[in-house]
Structure 1
């Protein structure tokens, strides 16, 4: 159990404001929504992830707004305030490339409602050349994820 009571609204508002900050291209605004040691995980070979640190994460998203005219929407969200987690479905408009990327992210929060971790999952075809389709750099073993069916 966490020491500070946070509401569903607190967590949902943080996610929505974070995504709005990403779209703004303002790195300081993005960084303000995350803990200093936040980590953003991606599928393998996406964006050279994982990204570590709120300032680094913020600069990377701001750069994509500058170079690719990226913009994001939060399309739906679910929150578990007791566990301090949220999941959102989103759309990433990569306007310079004419690409629409849809996906979902798992967010974890600290006692100050700052994002400590984001795990991004993308809606895309399965890469048949891979035997393991997992987030790059994520410690599945260390977090006791199953290695086979139970």
Structure 2
């Protein structure tokens, strides 16, 4: 069975993030896309494809950011999908797990909106921000970033 076009677009977006590829990131979004985040980060939400692309390139260059997709679910009756991810920040020696809801432009298939939800508050005292007592290894989750 072929992977749904929205799942393919999400994978392409994460590939562009991991590569720190501005142009590829731009090509994943509608020009007016919005990326929402929980409170605590500066300058959120990120509005516009250009802002989103520049911010992720900055994270790759300055934090050593790499992302892995753990799960993708695509709605059968709307232009939405949800994923579970891990954000590895190698230069800081930390990671954060969370979910994101995606809304796609039906005509173009591009990402119009992302709403990020973290598995836990971003606690600077722990190496990996994740759910307490959840057996990540037994469930097949990534335990480190993929090699570039």
Q: TM-score, normalised by structure 2?
A: 0.77
17, 20, 24: which one aligns with 2:12:
17
Are residues 1:113 and 2:109 paired? Answer: yes
Q: Distance in 2 between matches of 1:24 and 1:125?
A: 26
Are residues 1:97 and 2:92 paired? Answer: yes
1:64 maps to which residue?
A: 59
Q: Which 4+ residue blocks in structure 1 deviate beyond 2 angstroms? A: none
Tell me how far 1:81 sits from its aligned partner: 4.2
2:80 maps to which residue?
A: 85
Are 1:109 and 1:117, in contact at CA under 8 Å, matched by a contact in 2? yes
Aligned residues: CA RMSD:
1.8
Q: TM-score, normalised by structure 1?
A: 0.76
Tell me how far 1:28 sits from its aligned partner: 1.1
SS across alignment from 1:104: strand
List per-residue Cα deviations over 1:46-98 (Å, max 9, x = no partner). 24210000011000000110011100011101001421100000000011000
Tell me how far 1:8 sits from its aligned partner: 6.2
| Aligned residue pairs, count | 121
Q: Distance in 1 between matches of 2:10 and 2:76?
A: 13
1:28 maps to which residue?
A: 23
Cα gap change, 1:66 to 1:125, in 2 (>3 Å): closer
1:133 maps to which residue?
A: none
1:51 maps to which residue?
A: 46
Tell me how far 1:45 sits from its aligned partner: 1.9
State the structure with bigger RCO (CA 8 A, min sep 6), 1 or 2. Answer: 1
Q: Distance in 2 between matches of 1:65 and 1:19?
A: 12
